[in-house]
């Protein structure tokens, strides 16, 4: 046993390499030693024993290689657990590294949390509105049925209620069931405080179509719709909680409607049930009443197209097939009902029918703005990521010595990347958690602030798709982050980096270039966003500047409903309404007052009319308003020709109408329309001919951003009985005051009570607010986009600042030399600011090109604004350049403060 | 993974052994051992109880009277390969003279393999022996 030999062998074996092979080498060394020992024991001399042993063993190099190959294969299988192990180490190391530079870590965290939060919020809404099914079971079978009349110069998005009874013949074949919904707001008076509750009259089948059961109690039965049945209502969870304190004993309780009738609450819908929805043309209802096919309703066949028809398709039935089976019935309607559909067909042409998915109908026009917002918020995240990446690169440069040493010591690029990845993932995971928390609030805020409760009728919540989206974002960003610093530690650089570290008088050019590319990208994206937001805000400003056709300042509006129980007589209605107007005018500070069947921007009432002259190919349609005398004066709608209604335009006077300029131009040509004939109704209807007494200016009927359309005004005082009674029983009043609108509300109530103490004043609102609401969606989208653009600008400013600041630090030796050889302050500032402006200019050029290509996508969202609006482009570019100059100010000051002596000694 | 230990394994190209080591012809004056055969010998040896590589080599040498003259180095790839296939397991221990040595032990799976391969081996040798000892001439040589 000679230790010398053993150690020799070990030395020989260690020639092959180091650690992983040690076990195999030990094993072989043991064998060699044992054999040598044995030969020596038989009397051989050690040299001969060693030689014999080697012969005996054979080609040791080869056998060792084979053994190792087998072992290494084993090794590879163990790699997975090793990786897991090293990842834990990396995470610990990463956490230490992140903790060491807390301001940087927090900045990165905030950037990312902001980006992820905003993205997840918008995506939650996009997901709910565009991707997720409507919140009803099996909702892809839900459809909306709409009728049309070929020759009508307007679209109908609903049906004439009685037709539903005919369509229900398809139940069991194309449709599982069909239902009808009609808007019916209800005024509930509790303790003298009246409140208008958005409501809907629905057929009992509605709940079957939607497949939603009440949370408590029952929904409607067919028995509830029979004439004379006691009135029952179903209320929403929201109303139950808000108004009745979530009292379980509400079921069976009678509630009093302001009209004096009482209704029994029979059911409460579950929370989250939101129906109808704004996209279907009706607000979400808080109270449901049974819809009754009363004789009055049945009398309006082929007329009064104001009912929403929905249906649930039979399994396996397509929308097209459902439509064709309804079309069969529609074709028979003129024969079945010659008095209504028969006549309608002869003058209006063939009736049409459409079946469209409820989801598509509900989403409507909201698709594009949502996608634009999603794109915008994606840009913000991108800019945030670039910022964070740039921070990381700055740090990687600061750590380049560490990286270089580790590379020289044998760390592979993969290993280093893995480490950076762990660090980035740690940061981003924390950022994502923060972002998700932010997104929770953000989503709630979006839903709450969105105009008209639009999003609340969709199922907006964080689901697996949203989580996957956020997770995907995180991983993607982490990968990018890990790659960027990894590239900076390329092996070829490593040695050089170690060598030059001590003496770098100017910044490393390649590294600088990398960061500059990031900043240029950032500026470009920020500019695109700014231009997009600029265009939207410019559109908003233009819409707000639109003249609605009347003066909405200091104009207060409210509604009064004269209950049918107390006001059955037509003349009494008219008298009371005139008395109310008279009292209103007597209020101190009130300059004028009047009333109309409906006010602009609050929904319109379209009628078919017949102008003087030859028959038209299409039945003309106009928005109709019944007005009391003084209406145009109070609204300050300018008179263009003729005269306005006066107190003398009553039933005893010849029937008179006032038309707007658009109607005059489109249907009465260039000649003076005053004194010419006008008929409310189709050509062959029995209605009286009226004389046009005046032409007034166009008024925006539905919203500020619409095109002018024909409108006609009739005098309330000339109306007779019939269906119109219910319309002028519920007038909207307008009061123009010299005082603040809010201050006259009490005086208005007193004045109305002076006429009849039982009357309830509803919806007292300044007209400004009503006008504003019509552009609420536009304002909302523009504000959000503006917010994102502001965020992008702030991030871009930080990015430019960061790069310059870093470059000043990196080049402080160079700066020191410059100052030492006599560079002036202005030289130095020009140097730094010039760098910023050059970077920004390149970014601006790219951003302008990008905006040029992209703004076409938002053309549909703009109002009177060219997607290539020069002013917006120039101003946005200017803003970015100014920001670049401003954000270079601090770094420039820092450069000026450099003490040449210290700077040159610094490294 | 191939389980068969039949001598036909000579055709088996172990994918993890570097190609040049395979191509190199085994230069040996003694009887060339088929790879699978060595595995069988190792398993059989270890079926008597745990042993280190040197013990295995010695045992084969002693029992056969050194007829096979196995190159002792070739034992180690075989041992490691069998261990990888979980027919053996190993542990580091002390040899009789207190040196660190790697001990191999046959596993239950190893015993199963030994049993099935041993019978395959004997039918193989019997078949070969039949050919070798047959006195009957083939048809074409008559």
pLDDT at A489 over 50: no
- At A133-180, the pLDDT tens digits run 888 999 999 999 998 877 676 667 788 889 999 999 999 889 999 999
Distance from CA of A526 to the nearest CA of B (A): 55
User: What Cα–Cα distance (Å) separates residue A176 from each residue in A143, A172, A314, A658, B74?
Assistant: 11, 5, 5, 48, 80
Q: Residue B24's pLDDT is what?
A: 36
What does the mean pLDDT of chain A come to? 82
Q: Residue A461's pLDDT is what?
A: 77
Contact criterion met (CB below 8 Å) for A124 and A439: yes
Of A31, A37, A73, the CB nearest to B16: A73
Coil vs helix vs strand at A681 = coil
| Cβ within 8 Å, pair B24-A62 | yes
Nearest CA in chain B to A31: B54
Q: Residue A193's pLDDT is what?
A: 65
Q: Residue A670's pLDDT is what?
A: 78
As a whole number of angstroms, the distance between CA A235 and CA A245 comes to: 13
Q: Residue A84's pLDDT is what?
A: 67
DSSP H or E run through B51: strand B51-52
pLDDT at A130 over 60: yes
How would residue A724 be classed by pLDDT, with cut points 50, 70 and 90? low
Q: Residue A211's pLDDT is what?
A: 92
Contact criterion met (CB below 8 Å) for A637 and A689: no
Distance from CA of B84 to the nearest CA of A (A): 7
* Residue A589 CB neighbour total at 10 angstroms: 14
Range from A456-460, A729-733, B100-104 carrying the lowest mean pLDDT: A456-460
Distance of CA A289 to the CA centre of its chain: 32
Q: Does A58 touch chain B (CB under 8 A)?
A: yes
Contact criterion met (CB below 8 Å) for A233 and A289: yes
pLDDT at A627 over 90: yes
pLDDT at A526 over 60: yes
Phi then psi for A696, rounded to 5 degrees?
-115, 165
Preceding peptide of A130 cis, ω within 30°: no
DSSP annotation string for A783-842: HHHHHHHHHHHHHHHHHHHHHHHHHHHHTHHHHHHHHHTT--HHHHHHHHHHHHHHHHHH
Q: What angle do CA A206, A212, A218 make, to 5 degrees?
A: 80
Q: Residue A502's pLDDT is what?
A: 43
Residue A844 has which token pair? Answer: 């601006």
| Cβ within 8 Å, pair B73-A33 | no
Contact criterion met (CB below 8 Å) for A520 and A846: yes
Q: Residue A200's pLDDT is what?
A: 93
Nearest CA in chain B to A61: B73
| Cβ within 8 Å, pair A70-B74 | no
Distance from CA of A21 to the nearest CA of B (A): 13
- At A323-341, the pLDDT tens digits run 999 999 988 988 898 888 8
Q: Residue A699's pLDDT is what?
A: 92
Query: What percent of chain A shows pLDDT beyond 90?
Result: 24
DSSP H or E run through A78: helix A60-100
Nearest CA in chain B to A67: B77
The residues of B whose Cβ lies within 8 A of any Cβ of A are 14, 16-18, 21, 24, 28, 52-54, 57, 71-77, 80-81, 84, 95, 97, 99-102
How would residue A527 be classed by pLDDT, with cut points 50, 70 and 90? very high
| Cβ within 8 Å, pair B80-A64 | no
Q: Does A57 touch chain B (CB under 8 A)?
A: yes
Distance from CA of B25 to the nearest CA of A (A): 11
Burial class from Cβ neighbours inside 10 Å (0-12, 13-18, 19+) for residue A169 reads middle
Work out the average pLDDT over B61-69: 77
Between A834 and A348, the higher pLDDT residue? A834
- At A251-306, the pLDDT tens digits run 988 888 766 788 999 999 998 888 888 788 888 899 999 999 988 888 888 877 88
Backbone φ/ψ region at A668: left (φ over 0), alpha (ψ -120 to 50), beta:
alpha
Rounded to 10 deg, the angle between the A889-896 and A776-810 helix axes is: 20
| Cβ within 8 Å, pair A31-B53 | yes
Q: Does A33 touch chain B (CB under 8 A)?
A: yes
As a whole number of angstroms, the distance between CA B54 and CA B72 comes to: 8
Q: Residue A154's pLDDT is what?
A: 65
Residue B117 has which token pair? Answer: 């391969």
Give B75's contacts in chain A (Cβ within 8 Å). 63
Q: Residue A436's pLDDT is what?
A: 85
pLDDT at B47 over 80: yes
The number of residues making up chain A comes to 907
How would residue A697 be classed by pLDDT, with cut points 50, 70 and 90? very high
Of B21, B99, B102, the CB nearest to A66: B21
Between A396 and A879, the higher pLDDT residue? A879
How would residue A874 be classed by pLDDT, with cut points 50, 70 and 90? very high
pTM to 2 decimals? 0.67
Q: Residue A662's pLDDT is what?
A: 92
- At A194-240, the pLDDT tens digits run 778 889 999 999 999 999 999 989 999 999 998 888 999 999 998 99
Q: Does A34 touch chain B (CB under 8 A)?
A: yes
Distance from CA of A848 to the nearest CA of B (A): 58
pLDDT at B2 over 50: no
User: What Cα–Cα distance (Å) separates residue A593 from each residue in A589, A744, A783?
Assistant: 11, 12, 35
Interface of A with B in 7-26 (CB under 8 A): 23-24, 26
Q: Residue A396's pLDDT is what?
A: 66
Query: What percent of chain A shows pLDDT beyond 70?
Result: 87
Residue A539 has which token pair? Answer: 């559109």
Of B17, B52, B53, the CB nearest to A69: B17
User: What Cα–Cα distance (Å) separates residue A507 from each residue in A443, A482, A815, A828?
Assistant: 45, 22, 11, 16
- DSSP β-ladder status, A287-290 and A199-202: parallel
Q: What angle do CA A730, A734, A740 make, to 5 degrees?
A: 135
Of B21, B57, B81, the CB nearest to A65: B21
Of A33, A60, A67, the CB nearest to B80: A67
Give B72's contacts in chain A (Cβ within 8 Å). 31, 35, 56-58
Q: Does A35 touch chain B (CB under 8 A)?
A: yes
Q: Residue A74's pLDDT is what?
A: 62
Q: Residue A704's pLDDT is what?
A: 83
Q: Residue A258's pLDDT is what?
A: 65
The number of residues making up chain B comes to 142
Of A1, A67, A73, the CB nearest to B76: A67
Phi then psi for A445, rounded to 5 degrees?
-65, -45
Q: Residue A155's pLDDT is what?
A: 67
Q: Residue A75's pLDDT is what?
A: 61
- The set of residues, in sequence order, having a beta carbon less than 8 Å from that of A390 and lying 6+ positions away, is A515, A518, A519, A522, A799, A802, A803
Q: Residue A484's pLDDT is what?
A: 60
- At A764-805, the pLDDT tens digits run 889 988 888 888 888 888 998 999 999 889 888 888 887 777
* Residue in the block written with tokens 């990463």: A94
Q: Residue A15's pLDDT is what?
A: 41
Give B76's contacts in chain A (Cβ within 8 Å). 24, 27-28, 31, 63-64, 66-67
**Which of A396, A301, A363, A386 is CA-nearest to residue A126?**
A363
Q: Residue B8's pLDDT is what?
A: 36
As a whole number of angstroms, the distance between CA A319 and CA A217 comes to: 34
Between B28 and A298, the higher pLDDT residue? A298
How would residue A681 be classed by pLDDT, with cut points 50, 70 and 90? confident
Q: Which of A10, A36, A40, A62 to mutate to test the interface with B (most CBs of B within 10 A)?
A: A62
Q: Residue A283's pLDDT is what?
A: 83
Q: Residue A125's pLDDT is what?
A: 87
Give A35's contacts in chain B (Cβ within 8 Å). 54, 72
Q: How high is the ipTM of this complex?
A: 0.74
pLDDT at A501 over 90: no
Work out the average pLDDT over A412-428: 72
DSSP H or E run through A169: none
| Cβ within 8 Å, pair A58-B28 | yes
- At A59-112, the pLDDT tens digits run 888 888 888 888 777 666 556 566 666 667 777 777 777 777 777 778 778 887
- DSSP β-ladder status, A621-627 and A711-715: parallel
Q: Residue A844's pLDDT is what?
A: 93
Q: Residue A192's pLDDT is what?
A: 58
- At A637-667, the pLDDT tens digits run 999 999 999 988 888 888 899 999 999 998 8
Distance from CA of B97 to the nearest CA of A (A): 9
Between A530 and A823, the higher pLDDT residue? A530
Nearest CA in chain A to B28: A58
| Cβ within 8 Å, pair A31-B54 | yes
Rounded to 10 deg, the angle between the A22-41 and B53-64 helix axes is: 40
As a whole number of angstroms, the distance between CA A604 and CA A586 comes to: 30
């Amino acid at each position: 046993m000679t230790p010398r030999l053993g150690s020799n062998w070990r030395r020989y074996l260690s020639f092959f390499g180091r650690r992983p092979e040690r076990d195999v080498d030990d094993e072989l060394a043991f064998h060699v030693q044992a054999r040598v020992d044995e030969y020596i024991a038989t009397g051989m001399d050690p040299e001969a024993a060693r030689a014999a042993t080697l012969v005996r063993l054979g080609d040791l190099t080869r056998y060792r290689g084979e053994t190792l190959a087998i072992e290494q294969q084993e090794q590879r299988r163990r790699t997975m657990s090793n990786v897991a192990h090293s990842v834990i180490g990396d995470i610990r190391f990463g956490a230490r590294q992140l903790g060491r530079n807390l301001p940087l870590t927090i900045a990165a965290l905030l950037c990312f949390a902001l980006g992820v939060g905003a993205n997840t919020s918008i995506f939650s809404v996009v997901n709910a509105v565009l991707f997720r099914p409507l919140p009803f079971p099996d909702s892809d079978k839900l459809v909306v049925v709409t009728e049309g009349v070929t020759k009508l110069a307007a679209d109908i998005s609903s049906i004439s209620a009685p037709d539903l009874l005919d369509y229900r013949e398809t139940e069991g074949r194309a449709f599982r069931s069909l239902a009808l919904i009609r808007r019916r707001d209800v005024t509930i008076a509790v303790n003298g405080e009246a409140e208008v509750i958005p409501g809907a009259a629905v057929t009992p089948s509605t709940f079957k179509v939607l497949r939603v059961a009440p949370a408590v109690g029952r929904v409607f039965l067919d028995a509830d719709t029979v004439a004379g049945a006691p009135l029952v209502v179903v209320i929403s969870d929201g109303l139950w909680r808000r108004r009745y304190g979530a009292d379980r004993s509400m079921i069976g309780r009678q509630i009093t409607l302001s009209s004096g009738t009482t209704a029994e609450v029979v059911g409460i819908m579950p929370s989250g049930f939101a129906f109808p929805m704004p996209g279907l043309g009706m607000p979400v209802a808080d109270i449901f009443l049974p819809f009754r096919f009363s004789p009055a309703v049945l009398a309006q066949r082929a007329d009064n197209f104001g009912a929403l028809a929905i249906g649930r398709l039979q399994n396996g039935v397509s929308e097209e097939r459902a439509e064709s089976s309804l079309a069969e019935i529609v074709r028979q309607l003129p024969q079945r009902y010659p008095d209504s559909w028969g006549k309608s067909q002869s003058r209006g042409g063939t009736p049409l029918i459409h079946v469209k998915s409820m989801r598509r109908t509900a989403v409507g026009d909201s698709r594009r703005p949502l996608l634009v917002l999603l794109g915008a918020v994606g840009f913000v995240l991108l800019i945030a990521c670039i910022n964070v990446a740039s921070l990381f690169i700055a740090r990687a440069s600061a750590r380049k010595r560490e990286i270089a040493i580790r590379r020289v010591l044998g760390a592979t690029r993969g290993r280093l990347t893995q480490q950076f990845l762990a660090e980035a993932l740690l940061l981003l995971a924390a950022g994502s958690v923060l972002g998700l928390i932010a997104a929770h609030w953000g989503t709630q805020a979006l839903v709450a602030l969105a105009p008209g409760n639009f999003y609340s009728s969709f199922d907006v919540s964080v689901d697996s798709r949203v989580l996957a989206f956020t997770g995907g974002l995180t991983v993607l960003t982490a990968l990018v982050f890990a790659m960027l610093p990894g590239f900076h530690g390329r092996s070829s650089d490593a040695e050089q980096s170690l060598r030059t570290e001590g003496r770098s008088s100017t910044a490393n050019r390649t590294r600088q270039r990398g960061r500059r590319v990031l900043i240029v990208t950032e500026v470009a994206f920020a500019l695109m966003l700014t231009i997009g937001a600029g265009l939207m805000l410019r559109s908003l400003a233009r819409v707000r500047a639109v003249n609605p056709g009347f003066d909405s300042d200091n104009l207060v509006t409210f509604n009064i409903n004269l209950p049918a129980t107390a006001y059955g007589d037509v003349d009494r209605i008219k008298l009371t309404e005139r008395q109310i107007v008279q009292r209103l005018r007597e209020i101190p500070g009130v300059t004028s007052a009047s009333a109309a069947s409906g006010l602009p921007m609050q929904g319109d009432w379209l009628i078919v009319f017949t102008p003087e002259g030859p028959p038209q190919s299409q039945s003309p349609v106009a928005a109709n308003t019944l007005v009391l005398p003084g209406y145009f004066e109070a609204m300050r709608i300018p008179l263009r020709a003729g005269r306005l209604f006066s107190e003398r335009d009553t039933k005893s006077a010849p029937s008179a109408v006032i038309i707007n300029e658009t109607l005059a131009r489109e249907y009465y040509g260039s000649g003076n329309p005053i004194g010419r004939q006008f008929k409310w109704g189709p050509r062959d209807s029995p209605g009286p001919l009226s004389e046009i007494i005046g032409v007034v200016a166009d008024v925006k009927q539905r919203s500020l951003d619409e095109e002018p359309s024909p409108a006609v005004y009739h005098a309330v005082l000339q109306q007779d009985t019939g269906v119109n009674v219910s319309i002028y029983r519920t007038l909207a009043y307008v009061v123009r005051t010299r005082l603040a609108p809010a201050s006259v509300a009490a005086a208005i109530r007193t004045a109305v009570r002076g006429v009849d103490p039982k009357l309830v004043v509803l919806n007292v609102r300044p007209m400004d607010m009503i006008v504003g609401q019509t552009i609420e969606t536009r304002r909302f989208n523009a504000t959000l986009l503006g917010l994102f653009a502001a965020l992008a600008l702030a991030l871009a400013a930080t990015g430019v600042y960061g790069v310059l600041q870093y470059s000043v630090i990196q080049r402080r030796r160079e700066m020191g030399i410059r100052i030492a050889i006599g560079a002036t302050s202005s030289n130095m500032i020009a140097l730094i600011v010039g760098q910023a402006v050059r970077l920004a200019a390149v970014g601006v050029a790219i951003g302008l090109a990008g905006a040029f290509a992209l703004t076409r996508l938002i053309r549909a969202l703009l109002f009177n604004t060219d997607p290539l609006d020069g002013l917006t482009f120039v101003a946005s570019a200017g803003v970015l350049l100014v920001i670049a100059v401003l954000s270079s100010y601090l770094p420039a000051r820092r450069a000026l403060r450099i003490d040449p002596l210290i700077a040159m000694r610094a490294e | 993974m191939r389980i068969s230990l039949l001598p036909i394994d000579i055709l088996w190209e172990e994918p993890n052994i570097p190609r040049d080591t395979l191509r190199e012809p085994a230069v040996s004056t003694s009887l060339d051992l088929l790879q699978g055969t060595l595995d069988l010998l190792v398993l059989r040896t270890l079926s008597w109880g745990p042993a280190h590589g040197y013990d295995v080599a010695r045992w084969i040498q002693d029992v056969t009277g050194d007829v096979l003259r196995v190159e002792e180095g070739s034992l180690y790839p075989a041992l490691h390969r069998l261990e990888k296939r979980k027919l053996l397991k190993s542990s580091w221990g002390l040899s009789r003279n207190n040196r660190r040595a790697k001990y191999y032990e046959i596993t239950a799976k190893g015993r199963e393999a030994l049993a099935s391969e041993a019978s395959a081996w004997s039918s193989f040798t019997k078949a070969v022996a039949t050919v070798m000892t047959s006195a009957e001439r083939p048809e074409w040589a008559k």
